[in-house]
Amino acid sequence: MKLKNVMIKITAIVAVVFTVASCDDDFNSVGSEVIGDVNFEDDEYTAVPVAYSKRFERVQSSNLPNNLLGIYNDPVYGQTTYNVLSQVLLSRQNPVFGENAVLDSVVLNLPYFSSVTESEVNDDGDVVNTYELDSVYGIAPMNLSIYQSNYFLRDFDLGSGAEDRQLYYSNDISDNFGMSVEGTLLKEIEFFLPSENEVVLTTPDGADEDTDPDKTRFSPRLRISLKKADALGTNDQPIIDHFTSLFLDKEGSVELSNANNFRNYFRGVYFKTQPVTGNGSLVFFNIADADITLFYTFDKVDTLDEDDDDDTTDFIEDNGELELSFSNNIVNGIENNFNTTILDELANQDEVNGEENLYLKGGEGAYAVVDLFNGNIINENGEEENELDFLIRQDWLIKDASLKFYINQDLVTNEVVNPGRRSSEPERVFLFNLETGEVLIDYIADGTGNNTVPILSVIDHLGRITRDSDENGEFYRIRLTQHIINVLNGDIDNVKLGLSVSQNVNIVANAAGFTPTNTEDEIIPFSSIISHEGTILYGNGTNVPDDKRLKLDIFYTKAKSN
């Protein structure tokens, strides 16, 4: 019985082995037939776009998402000075200051962008934060002057019949507004240098259990406190008197009754910077977080007997404040003192054949024009044919397409202009439709585009700078696969593309700019205007080393030739 069972099992196993072997032979046979019948192969096509640069004489600098203030010395392009003119808004209209109101101080707060790197508790039990600035470039001091401006920034363009919003440009403050922006001098700071230290404000002891002065800690910022004369020698009394006449003495006036009247009455604040030794520092900040606050005291009826004297009809002193926020029309003034060699290069660009170098600079700077498939090639029959027509005729399956922009390291110095940063080279560049200013379809389809951290956003499409072993910038790779597919399918036109530096690739809104050769406005992304950095890339010129030359690499699958 056992022997019979064993024989049955052996027979079953042998049958299974032969079956598997037979199936394996069949599989290999079918597989080899399938592989042998594959009529497709992968290949690569390289196109050389025509590219050149354009320089802006002025760019729209009103209502930017962020603002720049200070001096920036680009190791390649030269020095740029940034100033800011802004309107202000009352936190409450038609303010009431109370009986016998007296202005004690006027405080300006302008926070920097920063992050906490360490927190610890000191001997007094206070939490002390250590900060790192990510908004300051350069380590040299500068002179900072703050004025009450007398120039009125209107809301609407009178030339358009007051239907369009008035735009202001980077050269308006220096060329068009005149000395009216420098009205009353509110404060002058010589040798100003932004600090990464937190700001500690000490005030008299409050209602806690101890008797020590209270301390309030703020993130790094420019904080200016203008105070009336006191025993410590502080004497900003002329400015205190000035603000008293502007605000407290105007209680109930038409000037403070609404926003429009107030903007015409108090026309704004102007921040002016000047280099001390030819160098300086640049602050990148969000002026929407800044404010000017008036602190004052006034008398009120002690209805709650706060002084515990059993009299609810007498007067006691109370504190009040009025905040002025920076809003509505905010204009960044940009003054360049560029390298004359680069200016000469930008003035003589070959827009037909392209250039050896592409100049990219933020602010009132320069951008590159990239023209894909604009010429003829020699096709497979030895005949001259339009490159775009040739590619459309191939009917390839496009798998990947990318532009590779190499940095001209012979012209771009890897100079560190701010501690903690590797170099002055921009981390990101931005590609856009030059006719409409819109991003490419690849930007929209990028799965990393929802990352709120700008440096990590849209990195599949707009690759971050690639650095070599010495940390020098080497190249930027931009993938535009779907854009090329749509062009070859005839779904979109083969328009010229713009390439600019970018401070934040998440900002896709556009502004207007004017170049020396075009009186009509041209499109430039806001993210380029708020960027201070610049670089020089290799273009398509014949003298460019072949391994550095601008190329469009297209990887595709095609049917094999019989």
Q: What is the pLDDT along the chain (562 residues), one digit of tens a residue?
A: 333 343 334 344 434 334 434 444 433 333 333 444 467 889 999 999 999 999 999 999 998 988 999 999 998 999 999 999 999 999 999 999 999 999 999 999 999 999 999 999 887 778 899 999 988 988 899 999 999 999 999 999 887 767 788 999 999 999 999 999 999 999 999 999 999 999 998 876 555 555 667 788 999 999 999 998 775 666 799 999 999 999 999 999 999 999 999 999 999 999 999 999 888 899 998 888 999 999 999 987 766 665 566 666 667 788 999 999 999 999 999 999 999 999 999 999 999 999 999 999 999 999 999 999 988 888 888 899 999 999 999 989 999 999 999 999 999 876 655 544 445 789 999 999 999 999 999 999 998 887 888 889 999 999 999 998 878 889 999 999 999 999 999 999 999 999 999 999 999 999 888 887 776 788 999 999 999 999 999 999 999 999 999 999 999 998 876 6
Q: What's the rounded Cα separation, in Å, for the pair 139 and 73? A: 11
Q: What is the pLDDT of residue 26?
A: 38
Query: Is residue 89 in some structural domain?
Result: yes
- The residue range of the domain holding 509 is 43-59+339-559
Q: What is the pLDDT of residue 232?
A: 63
Boundary (domain end) residue, out of 286, 302, 334: 334
Query: Is residue 27 in some structural domain?
Result: no
Q: Dihedral (C-alpha) 164, 523, 342, 495: value to the nearest 10 degrees?
A: -160
Q: What's the rounded Cα separation, in Å, for the pair 203 and 212? A: 9
Q: What's the rounded Cα separation, in Å, for the pair 83 and 526? A: 17
344 C-beta neighbours (distance < 10 Å), count? 9
Which two structure tokens, joined as six digits, stand for 530?
Answer: 């708020």
Question: H or E element: which one contains 333?
Answer: strand 315-338
Q: What's the rounded Cα separation, in Å, for the pair 411 and 423? A: 14
Query: Is residue 452 in some structural domain?
Result: yes
Residues 274 and 137 occupy one common structural domain: yes
The answer to whether the CB of 416 falls within 8 A of the CB of 425 is no
The answer to whether the CB of 463 falls within 8 A of the CB of 427 is no
**Which residues lie below 8 Å from residue 481, measured CB to CB, with a gap of 6+?**
398, 399, 400, 401, 402, 442
Show the CA angle centred on residue 433, arms to residues 427 and 435, nearest 5°: 135
Query: Is residue 28 in some structural domain?
Result: no
Q: What is the pLDDT of residue 11?
A: 42
Residues 273 and 153 occupy one common structural domain: yes
Determine the 3-state secondary structure of 332 from DSSP: strand
Residues 124 and 169 occupy one common structural domain: yes
DSSP 46-101: EE--EEEEEE-SEEB-BS-SSEEEEEEEETTTEEEEEEEEEEEEESSSS----EEE
Q: How far is CA 187 from CA 199, 223, 398, 540, in A?
A: 19, 12, 62, 51
Give alpha helix (H) positions in 169-213: 172-175
Phi-psi sector, 98: left (phi>0), alpha (psi -120 to 50), beta: left
CA-wise closest residue to 81 among 310, 368, 336: 336
Residues 371 and 287 occupy one common structural domain: no
Residues 137 and 245 occupy one common structural domain: yes
Determine the 3-state secondary structure of 24 from DSSP: helix
Q: What's the rounded Cα separation, in Å, for the pair 506 and 66? A: 13
Query: Environment class of residue 374 by beta-carbon count within 10 Å: exposed (0-12), middle (13-18) or buried (19+)?
Result: middle
Q: What is the pLDDT of residue 135?
A: 83
Query: Is residue 251 in some structural domain?
Result: yes
The answer to whether the CB of 94 falls within 8 A of the CB of 399 is no
AA identity, residue 547: D
Q: What's the rounded Cα separation, in Å, for the pair 398 and 486? A: 10
AA identity, residue 431: L
Which two structure tokens, joined as six digits, stand for 463?
Answer: 């690759």
CA-wise closest residue to 259 among 194, 329, 211: 329
Query: Is residue 426 in some structural domain?
Result: yes
- For the chain, how big is the Rg over CA atoms in Å? 33
Q: What is the pLDDT of residue 450?
A: 78
Residues 49 and 107 occupy one common structural domain: no
Q: What is the pLDDT of residue 207?
A: 56
Q: What is the pLDDT of residue 303?
A: 66
Residues 286 and 405 occupy one common structural domain: no
Q: What's the rounded Cα separation, in Å, for the pair 89 and 35? A: 74
Query: Is residue 271 in some structural domain?
Result: yes
Q: What is the pLDDT of residue 29?
A: 32
The answer to whether the CB of 87 falls within 8 A of the CB of 329 is yes
Give the E-state strand segments of 230-281 in sequence order: 269-275
For residue 334, list its beta bridge partners: 82
Residues 326 and 360 occupy one common structural domain: no
Residues 102 and 55 occupy one common structural domain: no
Determine the 3-state secondary structure of 9 from DSSP: helix
Q: What is the pLDDT of residue 13?
A: 40
Q: What's the rounded Cα separation, in Å, for the pair 178 and 174? A: 7
Query: Is residue 26 in some structural domain?
Result: no
Which residue is associated with the tokens 């009247």?
Answer: 261
Residues 284 and 322 occupy one common structural domain: yes
Residues 185 and 203 occupy one common structural domain: yes
- Residue 180 CA from chain centroid, whole number: 30
Boundary (domain end) residue, out of 293, 313, 334: 334
The answer to whether the CB of 270 falls within 8 A of the CB of 331 is no
